[in-house]
Structure 1
Amino acid sequence: MSQKQAVLDLGRKTDTQLVTLRGLQFWLYATNVLSPFLPVYFQAKGYSSGQIGFMMMLGPLLAVFFQPVWGYLSDRLGTVKKIVFLLWTLSILSSIGLFASTGYGPTLAFVTLLYFFWLPSLPLMDSITIKATERRGQSFGSVRLFGSLGYTVVLIVGGVLLGKWFGISSLSLIFWATWAVPLVLLFKLRDEPASGERMSLQSLKPILKNKSFLWFLLLVFIISVPHRMHDVMFSLYLTEAGGSDSMVGWSWALAAAAEIPAFALLSRHLHRVREFNLIGLVCLLYTFRWLAYAITKDPWVMFALQAGAAVTFAVFWITVVHYTVNILPKQLTSTGQSLLAMVFLGFAGITGGSIGGWLEDHHGGSSMYVFAAIVSLAAGMIFFGSEIVARRRRETALLKQISKL
């Protein structure tokens, strides 16, 4: 073995970056224990479905306008770590205000601030994970799956604690406990060196001029609306059907656990398929899944349907992240992921939450999922149609090149 190879092997053995990132993904998504239980917490405080949907989605809407700013600052300053630390600190402070609030106005203000600061950290962590895995020859999904694992474990534990011992009023204690480990791990994280030219406002032009990527973001918005509606309203739908607080936790844990195999395996095979065709297929699977939710009244069937996340959301998210990474320049990785999160968490979030809350209040929970099925079917047709148009353009361009020979 050469001296150079020995140094490289030693570097791999002492490189703990991926281990740290796996831990951060695990605990960052564990802090999302709030999402499935907050609607139940708000319902216990007497708020209506419409009010809950609005509260859960106003923060993501406002985050829409600042999401790319955090990504730009990260790319421009060459640091994810410091910006994430700032966002997490402000998130924790906002949560203290949230759980101390008693009226609707203060509660709305603090839950908005909480999500406003917490949500941007997700694409930033995805960005540094993508850079780290690419440099070390690993797949993004092999690290991201730890996020689903963390979400699963904490939801199970949290559901049991809230359902059998503490009650939903003690949600704050579980949420704050999940922050201890990620804050420690963040200090061990190293910023990944940027590839390509230094980020600048001038370098944003490729995104603004990339019609394919902008069209892609529009399609992501359409398919994300019903999914984000489900994220906000399912916990209420399940409890109204007779499910317990503990079942709420277990149902979301099942969804997260079902995603793990997809995150672990799919990244290795994405290069073999066209992304738009795969997302179109996912849209059709979403259609059948949402129809099943609309038809059933049994909470245990609703619980079982959560496993459908394995072939819907997990496949969808890995594919859209993969497409975003491939279509944009390397130095725009954080910005691209922020724009993707802006659409999914922000625009689609406020739209889905508002529509879902209104439908729940005026036409019942089943109407939400009928709407979701219709939108998903339409999105699938658009994705398939877009791929057909793109293929014809590629064939036309190839024929022109051949004719010039």
Structure 2
Amino acid sequence: MKGRFTLNTVPALVLAYFAYFGVLGIFIPYLGLFLDGRGLSSYDIGVLLAIVTATRIVGPSIWAALADRQGKPTQVMQWGAVLATIGWFSSFFDQGFLLLVVGLSLFSFFWTAILPQLEVTTFHFLNDNTERYSRIRSSGSLGYIVLVMVGGLLLQQFGTESLPYGAAILMGLLILSLFLLPAAEVRAEPVEQVPGYWSLLRKPVFVCFMGAAFILQMSFAPFYAFFTLYARDLGYSGIDTGLLISLAVLAEIVAFFWMGWLLKNRSYRLVLSCCYALTMVRWLMLAYLAHSPLWLMISMLMHAASFAIAHSCAMQFIQHYFPRKQRSKGQAFYAGLIFGGGGAVGAYGAGILWQDGAGASQTFLIAAAMAGFATLLALCLPAQVHRLRSE
């Protein structure tokens, strides 16, 4: 590790996680509302989000390869944060659809450089101490919740044009925290020969797993793209929407806390299929019961299963399926195809189906059907991934 400590390392890491997820606390829930305020139709919003999300297909692998080659993850995420902020500045100018597409695509592409390298850097500084890591990482969840609430307040008090400014402030804070970190040099150690990476991707069980995860991610698109618009049309205020999203994140935090116990000695097939089935129920509740605050809150609490538990189980699957040498590539492939590809296809489809709110219930009904199909695929998985090694 080289470099001079200009700020205690742990507070700098805490600030970085808080700011990074704080930006997402504004960007993810309220971007659809912001674009609607700019006069874009639901179809335009779907197309824009599909293009922006598609940049996440290749972004993680490119930045991971660059960081691995240079061995300097701190520099990669510093440049990623600066260039992402430059892309974000396009949102300050109301110059139509094309500028937003170009600017937000650049933002999304460079944004993918940050979190994976921040995770690598954090473990490097903490000497792989997972207990300290979990405490530092929780500051990200706190940042998300705080900025969801702040975003809802800004929206209610100053309108949608205030949101780019709030996100830009957090991006400045993120850049500051990253440049206060001492430089880290992380070099890969030589490892033994392992099975071919591409041969692992072609195995039927992995194709089934990825197909289920891809379809489930597609089903999330109406929620990510249009939930704030949906809540507004149902009569919920910006503060109400912020509280609802914060409730989902709190459920996610609790689920992550108990994840080790939940996954211990339980099959991936059982846990994933239950999570996917609950996701189907969640989208049905949004389609037909969202007018009721009680049922809407219950559906948000189900985020613990549909995202937190399902995502953690998928991460365990990747870690167990790929040999150690291939895990970073496996994670990048998963992130790019599922969150990039699945999110992009889902956003485009949701934009067509939403019809400026007229097709909201139908869109969530189709999302529920996709989650149901993902459940059937998950039921085809083996109970324990380690059994695949004998194939």
Same-fold call, TM cutoff 0.5: yes
Shift of 1:226: 0.7
Q: Does the 8 Å contact 1:141/1:267 carry over to 2?
A: no
1:56-79 CA distance string (max 9 Å, x none): 221221331333111222222223
Measure, in 1, the Cα distance between the counterparts of 2:211 and 2:127. 27
> Which one of the candidate residues 150, 164, 175 is aligned to 1:157?
150
- CA change 1:225–1:18 in 2 (3 A) is farther
Q: Does the 8 Å contact 1:141/1:263 carry over to 2?
A: no
Q: Which residue of 1 aligns with 2:5?
A: none
Q: Which residue of 2 aligns with 1:284?
A: 277
Residue 340 of structure 2 corresponds to residue 381 of structure 1: no
Measure, in 2, the Cα distance between the counterparts of 1:389 and 1:85. 39
Q: Which runs of 5+ in 2 are unaligned?
A: 1-7
Q: Which residue of 1 aligns with 2:170?
A: 178
Shift of 1:314: 0.8
Q: Which moved more, 1:252-261 or 1:142-151?
A: 142-151
> Which one of the candidate residues 310, 334, 343 is aligned to 1:316?
310
Q: Report % sequence identity.
A: 23
Shift of 1:47: 1.0
Residue 348 of structure 2 corresponds to residue 358 of structure 1: no
Q: Does the 8 Å contact 1:123/1:334 carry over to 2?
A: no
Shift of 1:179: 2.0
Shift of 1:152: 0.5
Shift of 1:265: 2.5
- The amino acid of 2:269's aligned partner reads F
Looking at CA atoms only, which structure, 1 or 2, has the larger radius of gyration? 1
Measure, in 2, the Cα distance between the counterparts of 1:391 and 1:331. 16
Measure, in 2, the Cα distance between the counterparts of 1:228 and 1:133. 36
- The amino acid of 1:51's aligned partner reads D
Q: Does the 8 Å contact 2:209/2:377 carry over to 1?
A: no
Shift of 1:196: 3.7
Measure, in 2, the Cα distance between the counterparts of 1:38 and 1:390. 38
Question: What is the CA RMSD across the aligned residues, in angstroms?
Answer: 3.1
1:178-228 CA distance string (max 9 Å, x none): 1233223223155474554289xx98x733221254543333212111123
Q: Does the 8 Å contact 2:55/2:109 carry over to 1?
A: yes
Measure, in 2, the Cα distance between the counterparts of 1:328 and 1:392. 12
Residue 33 of structure 2 corresponds to residue 43 of structure 1: no
- CA change 1:256–1:393 in 2 (3 A) is closer
- The amino acid of 1:77's aligned partner reads Q
Measure, in 2, the Cα distance between the counterparts of 1:253 and 1:370. 24
Measure, in 2, the Cα distance between the counterparts of 1:185 and 1:322. 30
Q: Does the 8 Å contact 1:142/1:263 carry over to 2?
A: no
Q: Which one has the bigger helix percentage?
A: 1
Q: Which moved more, 1:61-70 or 1:186-195?
A: 186-195
> Which one of the candidate residues 273, 279, 286 is aligned to 1:293?
286
- CA change 1:185–1:393 in 2 (3 A) is closer
Q: Does the 8 Å contact 1:221/1:348 carry over to 2?
A: yes
Q: Does the 8 Å contact 1:52/1:357 carry over to 2?
A: yes
Q: Which residue of 2 aligns with 1:12?
A: none
Q: Which residue of 1 aligns with 2:249?
A: 256
Q: How many residues align?
A: 378
- CA change 1:128–1:268 in 2 (3 A) is farther
Q: Which runs of 5+ in 1 are unaligned?
A: 1-15, 399-405
- CA change 1:287–1:28 in 2 (3 A) is same
Shift of 1:393: 7.4
Q: Does the 8 Å contact 1:42/1:52 carry over to 2?
A: yes
- CA change 1:145–1:207 in 2 (3 A) is farther
Measure, in 2, the Cα distance between the counterparts of 1:107 and 1:366. 28
> Which one of the candidate residues 130, 140, 158 is aligned to 1:147?
140
Residue 340 of structure 2 corresponds to residue 346 of structure 1: yes
1:182-261 correspondence to structure 2 within 5 Å: 182-187=174-179, 188=181, 191=184, 193-194=186-187, 196-197=189-190, 206-210=196-200, 211=203, 212-261=205-254
Q: Which moved more, 1:351-360 or 1:136-145?
A: 136-145
Q: Which moved more, 1:103-112 or 1:271-280?
A: 271-280
Q: Does the 8 Å contact 1:283/1:380 carry over to 2?
A: yes
Measure, in 1, the Cα distance between the counterparts of 2:127 and 2:254. 20
- The amino acid of 1:181's aligned partner reads L
Measure, in 1, the Cα distance between the counterparts of 2:211 and 2:106. 26
Shift of 1:21: 3.7
Q: Does the 8 Å contact 1:27/1:147 carry over to 2?
A: yes
- CA change 1:311–1:234 in 2 (3 A) is same
Q: Which residue of 2 aligns with 1:82?
A: 75
